[in-house]
Amino acid sequence: MKEFDTIAAIATALGEGSISVIRVSGTDAVSVVDKIYRGKKSLATVDSHTMNYGSIIDPQTGERVDEVFCAVFHAPRTYTGEEVVEIQGHGGIVAVQRVMRLVLNHGARLAEPGEFTKRAFLNGRIDLSQAEAVIDVIRSKTDAAMKVAFRQVEGGLSKKIKELRQKMVEMLAHIEVTIDYPEHDVEDVTIQHVITQGDSIVEEIHRLLGGATTGKILREGLKTVIIGKPNVGKSSLLNALSRTNRAIVTDIEGTTRDILEEHINLRGIPLNIIDTAGIRETEDIVERLGVERSREALEEADLVLFMIDASRPLNEIDRELAEAVKIRPTIVILNKTDLPRLADLEELRTLAGDFKIVETSVATGEGMEQLERAVEDLFLSGGIEGQESTYLSNARHVALLEKAGREMSEALDSARMGMTLDLVAVDVRSCWMSLGEVVGEAVADDLLDQIFSQFCLGK
């Protein structure tokens, strides 16, 4: 168990029902509550998973604040994996808040939103997809979103994913044996096995995605802003992206009329590219609104696509915008690479700093693939954090599942085309890692161990 300070929060909705629950978690949970609890026995001496009747007393005045049951749960078999005490009071809202204040005055700290769940994850009590789903439950605004999230808490998704990954470990074990002992001439058998298993895995991934899409549509996309000086190709990019990426049809309440939103689905990542009114008529955000207004648009953005014109020298607007985009996750796009280059690449590298630079020609389609991959990489690596992060976990799962599906399909193509087994294994391994990221499991390092344990079990 990791050592953490002791946190507390009121776990029940304020003002609802007659029972209120304060949850305390951390190494000192029992001793903190014990300081303000009077019952038959001190909480330090009671058994784990017991309910204890008593009172909460203000030690300074000796006054009895509430009549309570204290549930004591010793680590590690608790929600957070830590020492947990739940104080169930009866005295209504004022009493709850007084008890809460006493808890905080005797060694606990107010928990941040989602902190209990975060600890449960860090202590290995739940996996990442379950943790994210709990956060979704807390934040989901509609009943439908709630139901999707609840199913995930129960571990439906993670259970499926673990099964799929286990199948892949078996596939890899077969491949390893075949590569290590080629004289057995089992290659054909192995390839047949890989194809059969791989097909069923792709099918299962698509089934999962079918369900996940429903969850995705309940949420908004990543707010994306395309920014750059006049004529760099912003509108062309938006058109190209919308043309090649199936739009998600959403009907979000409260969308104001004067904001144009282009919803696109880029490799499973829902992007919501925003144009303020009229930009498309006058064709330029910088010209019409100035750099100041571009800054405002940036503040709203989860992701910025910052375009530079390769066919013109860098100028003051480029430099100012480069400074302005620093506050947001950004991909720098060097566009019009089909024309003779006049932009100074050296200076651009300095301006871009840590941001990735992708070279494109929107006109010829050159580099669009790399651009999409850059967005995907940034998103999957957690580099984009939504300001309204409710949709993120779900969209992240969808994107990772789609990636895994593509990787397994590639493995199958290689197998069918008679490529060597090590090449097939590369794609199977990528697929295994992508699925691992959904459940937040350690990647790569434990794959070999798993393959070896497979040998022991199977043979």
* Minimal distance, residue 363 CB to ligand GDP, in Å: 3
Contacted by 236, from Zn ion, ligand GDP, none: CB < 5 to 8 Å by type: ligand GDP
Contacted by 125, from ligand GDP, Zn ion, none: CB < 5 to 8 Å by type: none
* Minimal distance, residue 234 CB to Zn ion, in Å: 4
- Contacts with ligand GDP by CB under 6 A: the residue count is 17
- Please spell the DSSP secondary structure of 165-213, one letter per residue: HHHHHHHHHHHHHHHH-GGG--HHHHHHHHHHHHHHHHHHHHHHHHHHH
Residue with tokens 């996750």: 329
Question: Identity (one letter) of the amino acid at 230?
Answer: P
Say which DSSP state 83 is in: -
Contacted by 230, from ligand GDP, Zn ion, none: CB < 5 to 8 Å by type: ligand GDP
Name which of 290 and 458 has its Cβ closer to ligand GDP.
290
Quick one: which of 114, 155, 230, 383 contacts ligand GDP (CB under 6 A)?
A: 230
Q: Does 367 bind ligand GDP (CB under 6 A)?
A: no
Q: Which two tokens stand for residue 27?
A: 């190494």
Cis peptide before 270 (omega within 30 of 0): no
Q: Does 287 bind Zn ion (CB under 5 A)?
A: no
Q: Does 336 bind ligand GDP (CB under 6 A)?
A: yes
CB 356 within 8 A of CB 379: no
- Please spell the DSSP secondary structure of 134-172, one letter per residue: HHHHHH--SHHHHHHHHHHHTTHHHHHHHHHHHHHHHHH
- Please spell the DSSP secondary structure of 94-111, one letter per residue: HHHHHHHHHHHHTT-EEP
Instruction: Give the β-pairing of 20-25 and 7-10.
Output: antiparallel
Q: Does 338 bind ligand GDP (CB under 6 A)?
A: yes
Name which of 285 and 314 has its Cβ closer to Zn ion.
285
* Minimal distance, residue 290 CB to Zn ion, in Å: 15
Q: Does 234 bind Zn ion (CB under 5 A)?
A: yes
Report the residue closest to Zn ion, judged by CB: 235
Residues that bind Zn ion (CB under 5 A): 234-235, 283
Residues that bind ligand GDP (CB under 6 A): 228, 230-236, 283-284, 335-336, 338-339, 361-363
Residues of each annotated binding site? 23, 86, 125, 231-236, 250-256, 275-278, 459
